[in-house]
Amino acid sequence: MIDDDTLRRLMTEDVPYGDLTTDLLGIGPQPGRIAFSARGAMVACATEEAARLFELAGARLVGQVIPSSTVVTADAPLLMAEASAYVLHRVWKVAQVLVETLSGIASATRALVDAARAVNPTIAVACTRKSFPGTRTLSVRAIMAGGATPHRLGLSDSLLVFAEHRLFLPAGVPLSEWVGRLKRSAPERKMAVEVGSVEDALVFARAGVDTLQLEKFTPEAVYAVVEEVRRIAPGLVVVAAGGIDVHNAALYAGTGAGVLATSAPYHAKPADVRVSFSGH
């Protein structure tokens, strides 16, 4: 779950100096109830965070909060809380947008995962670090709720050599030398290299890398690499990346690649959450 400090910052961003409308109407102390429900089928996400937002503001939860990762149908209740009108209005939009946005990402992720696993039940779907800056924690929360894993959480957690890295290597340094140096320097890390052609993929497979990331390969080209890699280096992981979405995930899953890497779910349309107020 998202930590309390982050949730407090989200509330403060929306209500930095009080709620002018509620204050001037004089309705702040009146008791009320708020209920969230799904307008359509979706994978719920961040319902626990929305509930926690209400609790942090002083509200009392009523009944069950539907857990993240739950597939819900239209009109399914998600959460309910009671508090003063001031508290309910303070939290309302932040909580609603959080659930809608992350449920949209989770739902898109689940659709992509389902499409891929209908063809290859063991394939992994991993979402890249190309979420909007500042939203990494929220985005990872959503893609995991949808059944994917993070491809990379950031530059600090994994070895992935791009062509843009290789550009700066001294001329004439043998491939085996820098590949070996990286593997010796971080022996507990798997070493991945992104390549842009079948020829490069096979060169690096022979050089002993652990993972090949195939950038914007056609499904046919991915299949060709997978077939050759099985002969050259049977334990090597092949990642298909670049342009993979729900429409072509099944094609790429059928290539034999072990992982599909995608950023498509981050651009999903938000889910639609109905919010109802009542007095009590």
What pLDDT is recorded for position 25?
96
Torsion of CA 174, 235, 113, 149, to 10 degrees: -70
Query: What is residue 86's predicted lDDT score, i.e. its pLDDT?
Result: 97
Q: What percent of the chain has pLDDT over 70?
A: 100
- 114-267: CATH architecture: Alpha-Beta Barrel (3.20)
pLDDT of residue 256: 96
Q: What is the pLDDT of residue 83?
A: 98
The residue ranking higher by pLDDT, 175 or 58, is 58
Q: List the chain domain ranges.
A: 4-105+269-279, 114-267
User: What is the topology classification, in CATH, of domain 4-105+269-279?
Assistant: Aldehyde Oxidoreductase; domain 3 (3.90.1170)
| pLDDT recorded at residue 246 | 98
The answer to whether 28 touches 85, Cβ cutoff 8 Å, is yes
Residue-wise pLDDT for 34-60, tens only, equals 999 999 999 999 999 999 999 999 999
